[in-house]
Amino acid sequence: MPEPSPSVWLEAAGPEEPAPIRAATVWSALATGLLAALLLGDGLGLNVLLVAVPAALGAYAAARAAGRRMRPWTLVWAVGGLVLLLVPALRDAGWPTFLALVAALGLGSLALHGTRTWRGTLLGCAGVFCGAVPGIAWAWHGLRERAEGSRDRWGPVVRTGGTAVGLLVVFGALFAGADAAFADLLARMVPEMSLGDGPVRLPLLVLGVVGALAAAHTAAAPWRWDRIESTPGQPRGRVEWALPLIALNVLFAVFIVIQLTVLFGGYDKVLDETGLSYAQYARQGFWQLLAATLLTLVVIALALRWAPRGAVRDRTLVRAVLGTLCVLTLVVVASALRRMEWYVDAYGLTRLRVSAAGIELWLGVVILLIMAAGLFGGRWLPRAVVASAGAAVLCFGLASPDALVAEQNVKRFERTGTIDLEYLQDLSADAVPALDALPEPQRSCALWYIADDLRGAGDPWYATSRGEARARSLLAERPVDRIALPCGRLDGEGRARDAY
């Protein structure tokens, strides 16, 4: 049976006609746009969460108007997305912030859709973008209808808002002139605006309004990705299906036996068997094992598509073969993580290495979820995998990877006298507390460029992360000094070598 054409898919999954837009949704979109224009131009911090809150409220109002109910998984996606937006407020590093924002967008989009299948869950992570253009048209038609039916009510609203703003401006200026402390508080709380900021603020305003309307339209009329049907894979015979996988299991088992022999044999065993050091042995194998873990997930997915089904013996065979493969893969994951530990001991921790180890650890969690689905049923598996990815990104951000990199390299310096100061200079303000423990002149050398980035008046409170605020406080107590030492890599004797 051939696969349905894309036009058939779109017709099956297309959204229904949404209910007319409510005033609460309109005001929420305007509030989102204004907050985005006022706050996001200064950087990222708590302002991201402040901008997202009115957009979420507008989407909630649109969903209620459409008669949709809050379900447990919807609550999980919504709360998870909002919690991920705390990462920019806590961490100064850009890469965990970027991952958290992408994950928050994906979980928020899932909260608006509500899906169960693999296809629905994966497409739902980006489905909110489909509501951008329809959301604008939906809001425009709704505003026109409201304006035609309630012309007499717009005048009082405009006059009331204008009066409130005027009173706040006049009395706020008087109080600021009367008390310097109040003026300072007002200056730190209220965003600074100027005509020169227009080219930056206006696009943020438009982006905030369009994003909020897209979220609200999706909540009112979501795409039904679960309705897309595809033909299942053709079941294979037991021998045809099981024999390649059993051979793969044997290969995994042989590899694991060798790994256990090396692991328990110790350093001398590694040298005897391979002629390599621990570091060389680890570097040689981690990336291959990571690739093997990813390919195993692909093999499992394809094996499930073509697995024999129907009889009880078929299901038992599938569980036994794939369960064995999952267990062996978990041992491969443990071996990869052990190799990374050796590699870090020899060469130090970097952003790439901590990210790769985090990915490998998350893949191990996915394997465990697949094993649980094989025992208890897998209807929940797509959502559980996506939820585990969101939780992994949250843990990654809260763990402060830049701080972990700095802390591990400082400990390694204390143990070996070797440190790559040039690499540490590129870390964010999150690394300052760990780097502050270095002795001089290494401390000043590692912190000089970070301190230089933090000089000046600083960002406003809503665009300042906790990591940046803490770094400023530490550097104010113990300023860095210009030093003559080349900021490169130190050898085991603590002498500077050429930077690389």
pLDDT in tens, 422-437: 889 889 999 999 999 9
pLDDT exceeds cutoff 90 at 105: yes
pTM confidence score: 0.84
Give the count of alpha carbons within 13 A of 395, CB side only.
12
Is the model's pLDDT at 173 over the cut of 50?
yes
Computed on alpha carbons and rounded to an integer, the radius of gyration of the chain in Å comes to 28
Provide the pLDDT for residue 16.
Answer: 78
- What does each C-alpha distance from 79 to 106, 108, 233, 287, 380 come to in angstroms? 12, 9, 36, 34, 18
Check whether 130 has a pLDDT greater than 80: yes
Q: What is the pLDDT of residue 169?
A: 67
Q: How many CB atoms lie within 10 A of CB 175?
A: 12
Q: What number is the average pLDDT over the span 225-229?
A: 76
Range from 39-43, 183-187, 295-299, 313-317 carrying the lowest mean pLDDT: 183-187
353-412 confidence digits (pLDDT tens): 899 899 999 999 999 999 999 888 888 999 999 999 999 999 999 999 999 999 999 998
pLDDT at 3: 52
Using alpha carbons only, give the angle 166, 172, 175 rounded to the nearest 5 degrees.
Answer: 145
Domain ranges of the chain: 6-71+114-227, 238-401, 417-497
Confidence of residue 57 (pLDDT cuts 50, 70, 90): very high
In percent, the amount of the chain with pLDDT more than 70 equals 77
3 vs 330, higher pLDDT: 330
Query: For all residues of the chain together, what is the average pLDDT?
Result: 82
pLDDT at residue 51, as a whole number: 94
pLDDT at 495: 44
Task: Give the model's pLDDT for residue 330.
Answer: 92
pLDDT at 461 over 70: yes
What is the number of alpha carbons within 13 Å of residue 80 lying toward its C-beta? 29
Instruction: Look at residue 70 and tell me whether its pLDDT is greater than 50.
Output: yes
Q: Quote the pLDDT of residue 327.
A: 94
* CB-based contacts of 51, cutoff 8 Å, min separation 6: 32, 35, 36, 39, 40, 208
pLDDT at 111: 93
Which DSSP symbol is given to 22?
Answer: P
Is pLDDT above 80 for 116?
yes
Task: Kindly report which listed range (90-94, 392-396, 482-486) carries the lowest average pLDDT score.
Answer: 482-486
Q: What average pLDDT does the segment 84-96 reach?
A: 92
pLDDT for residue 323: 92
